Amino acid sequence: MAEIGKTDGAAAREMLTFLIGAQEFCIDVMSVREIRVWTPATPVAHAPSFLCGVINLRGSVLPIIDFAARLGYPPTKPSTRHAILVVQVRNQSIGLLVEGVTEILTIGADFIQPTPEAASQAAKDFVSGIVAIQGRMISLIALEAILPPSEQEAA
Protein backbone atom coordinates (compact mmCIF):
# COMPACT_ATOMS: atom_id res chain seq x y z
CA MET A 1 0.00 0.00 0.00
CA ALA A 2 1.51 3.30 -1.09
CA GLU A 3 1.21 6.49 0.92
CA ILE A 4 0.94 9.73 -1.04
CA GLY A 5 0.78 13.23 0.43
CA LYS A 6 -0.02 14.18 4.00
CA THR A 7 -1.31 11.12 5.80
CA ASP A 8 -1.47 12.36 9.37
CA GLY A 9 -5.04 12.69 10.59
CA ALA A 10 -8.46 12.63 8.96
CA ALA A 11 -7.28 14.30 5.73
CA ALA A 12 -5.82 11.03 4.39
CA ARG A 13 -8.07 8.56 2.57
CA GLU A 14 -7.45 5.01 1.44
CA MET A 15 -8.42 4.53 -2.21
CA LEU A 16 -8.74 1.38 -4.27
CA THR A 17 -7.47 1.98 -7.81
CA PHE A 18 -8.66 0.06 -10.86
CA LEU A 19 -8.50 0.19 -14.65
CA ILE A 20 -10.92 0.81 -17.49
CA GLY A 21 -8.81 0.57 -20.64
CA ALA A 22 -5.66 2.59 -20.02
CA GLN A 23 -7.41 4.99 -17.62
CA GLU A 24 -7.12 4.70 -13.85
CA PHE A 25 -9.99 5.33 -11.47
CA CYS A 26 -10.29 5.13 -7.71
CA ILE A 27 -12.98 4.81 -5.07
CA ASP A 28 -12.88 5.06 -1.30
CA VAL A 29 -11.85 1.66 0.04
CA MET A 30 -14.53 1.94 2.75
CA SER A 31 -17.20 1.57 0.05
CA VAL A 32 -15.75 -1.74 -1.14
CA ARG A 33 -17.26 -4.86 0.40
CA GLU A 34 -15.27 -7.39 -1.62
CA ILE A 35 -13.46 -8.04 -4.89
CA ARG A 36 -14.59 -11.03 -6.94
CA VAL A 37 -13.47 -12.67 -10.15
CA TRP A 38 -15.81 -12.25 -13.13
CA THR A 39 -18.91 -14.43 -12.91
CA PRO A 40 -21.30 -14.53 -15.88
CA ALA A 41 -24.41 -12.53 -15.10
CA THR A 42 -28.02 -13.41 -15.86
CA PRO A 43 -29.49 -10.74 -18.18
CA VAL A 44 -32.43 -8.66 -16.99
CA ALA A 45 -35.21 -7.75 -19.46
CA HIS A 46 -35.59 -4.04 -20.30
CA ALA A 47 -32.52 -3.16 -18.22
CA PRO A 48 -30.36 -0.13 -19.01
CA SER A 49 -27.55 -0.88 -21.47
CA PHE A 50 -24.88 -0.59 -18.77
CA LEU A 51 -26.47 -3.33 -16.61
CA CYS A 52 -24.73 -6.63 -17.41
CA GLY A 53 -27.33 -8.53 -15.41
CA VAL A 54 -27.48 -10.02 -11.94
CA ILE A 55 -25.58 -12.69 -10.04
CA ASN A 56 -26.37 -14.64 -6.89
CA LEU A 57 -24.11 -13.42 -4.09
CA ARG A 58 -24.63 -15.69 -1.09
CA GLY A 59 -28.40 -15.74 -1.57
CA SER A 60 -28.79 -12.08 -2.55
CA VAL A 61 -29.38 -10.71 -6.04
CA LEU A 62 -26.47 -8.44 -6.99
CA PRO A 63 -26.83 -6.16 -10.05
CA ILE A 64 -23.63 -5.95 -12.11
CA ILE A 65 -22.86 -2.58 -13.73
CA ASP A 66 -20.50 -2.47 -16.70
CA PHE A 67 -18.46 0.46 -15.40
CA ALA A 68 -17.00 1.26 -18.83
CA ALA A 69 -20.44 1.36 -20.47
CA ARG A 70 -21.80 3.46 -17.59
CA LEU A 71 -19.12 6.06 -18.27
CA GLY A 72 -19.92 6.13 -21.99
CA TYR A 73 -17.10 3.88 -23.21
CA PRO A 74 -17.76 0.83 -25.42
CA PRO A 75 -19.30 -2.11 -23.51
CA THR A 76 -16.91 -4.55 -21.88
CA LYS A 77 -16.48 -8.09 -23.18
CA PRO A 78 -15.79 -9.72 -19.81
CA SER A 79 -13.21 -12.44 -19.39
CA THR A 80 -11.53 -14.20 -16.47
CA ARG A 81 -9.07 -11.30 -16.14
CA HIS A 82 -11.91 -8.90 -15.22
CA ALA A 83 -13.04 -8.25 -11.65
CA ILE A 84 -16.27 -7.35 -9.92
CA LEU A 85 -15.98 -4.75 -7.18
CA VAL A 86 -18.86 -5.28 -4.76
CA VAL A 87 -19.55 -1.78 -3.43
CA GLN A 88 -22.13 -0.15 -1.22
CA VAL A 89 -24.06 2.68 -2.91
CA ARG A 90 -26.56 4.32 -0.59
CA ASN A 91 -28.36 1.31 0.95
CA GLN A 92 -27.72 -1.16 -1.87
CA SER A 93 -24.83 -3.40 -2.85
CA ILE A 94 -23.92 -3.40 -6.53
CA GLY A 95 -21.15 -4.99 -8.53
CA LEU A 96 -18.91 -2.90 -10.77
CA LEU A 97 -17.31 -4.75 -13.67
CA VAL A 98 -13.75 -3.42 -14.09
CA GLU A 99 -10.71 -4.57 -16.05
CA GLY A 100 -8.52 -5.03 -13.02
CA VAL A 101 -7.68 -3.75 -9.57
CA THR A 102 -4.26 -2.17 -9.35
CA GLU A 103 -3.53 -1.08 -5.76
CA ILE A 104 -4.62 0.62 -2.58
CA LEU A 105 -3.27 4.14 -2.07
CA THR A 106 -3.36 6.29 1.04
CA ILE A 107 -3.89 9.74 -0.43
CA GLY A 108 -3.58 13.04 1.39
CA ALA A 109 -6.35 15.56 0.72
CA ASP A 110 -3.75 17.90 -0.81
CA PHE A 111 -3.38 15.51 -3.78
CA ILE A 112 -7.10 15.53 -4.70
CA GLN A 113 -7.79 18.29 -7.22
CA PRO A 114 -11.27 19.43 -8.33
CA THR A 115 -12.67 18.13 -11.61
CA PRO A 116 -11.59 20.60 -14.33
CA GLU A 117 -14.16 23.21 -15.36
CA ALA A 118 -13.57 22.23 -19.00
CA ALA A 119 -15.01 18.75 -18.32
CA SER A 120 -18.56 18.00 -19.44
CA GLN A 121 -21.36 17.97 -16.88
CA ALA A 122 -21.60 14.17 -17.23
CA ALA A 123 -17.90 13.88 -16.38
CA LYS A 124 -18.38 16.15 -13.38
CA ASP A 125 -21.31 14.01 -12.22
CA PHE A 126 -19.21 10.83 -12.17
CA VAL A 127 -15.80 12.25 -11.22
CA SER A 128 -15.61 14.07 -7.90
CA GLY A 129 -11.91 14.89 -8.24
CA ILE A 130 -8.60 14.07 -9.87
CA VAL A 131 -5.70 12.55 -7.96
CA ALA A 132 -2.46 13.73 -9.55
CA ILE A 133 0.39 11.60 -8.22
CA GLN A 134 3.64 10.09 -9.49
CA GLY A 135 2.95 11.26 -13.06
CA ARG A 136 -0.49 9.61 -12.97
CA MET A 137 -3.94 11.16 -13.25
CA ILE A 138 -6.50 9.05 -11.37
CA SER A 139 -10.20 9.95 -11.53
CA LEU A 140 -11.93 9.80 -8.14
CA ILE A 141 -15.39 8.33 -8.76
CA ALA A 142 -18.56 9.59 -7.09
CA LEU A 143 -20.25 6.22 -6.48
CA GLU A 144 -23.62 7.86 -5.84
CA ALA A 145 -23.72 8.93 -9.52
CA ILE A 146 -23.12 5.40 -10.84
CA LEU A 147 -26.64 4.34 -9.95
CA PRO A 148 -28.97 7.35 -9.67
CA PRO A 149 -32.09 6.86 -7.50
CA SER A 150 -34.49 6.12 -10.41
CA GLU A 151 -32.10 3.54 -11.90
CA GLN A 152 -31.30 2.14 -8.47
CA GLU A 153 -34.95 1.12 -8.09
CA ALA A 154 -34.91 -0.50 -11.54
CA ALA A 155 -31.85 -2.57 -10.70
Question: Would you state the pLDDT for residue 7?
Answer: 45
Of all residues in the chain, what percent are helix, strand and coil, respectively (each to 5)? Answer: 15, 50, 35
Flag residues of the chain having pLDDT under 50: 6-8, 152
Question: Would you state the pLDDT for residue 93?
Answer: 94
Question: Would you state the pLDDT for residue 113?
Answer: 86
Question: Would you state the pLDDT for residue 150?
Answer: 58
**Which fold does the domain 2-154 belong to in CATH?**
OB fold (Dihydrolipoamide Acetyltransferase, E2P) (2.40.50)
Question: Would you state the pLDDT for residue 6?
Answer: 47
What pTM was computed for the model? 0.83
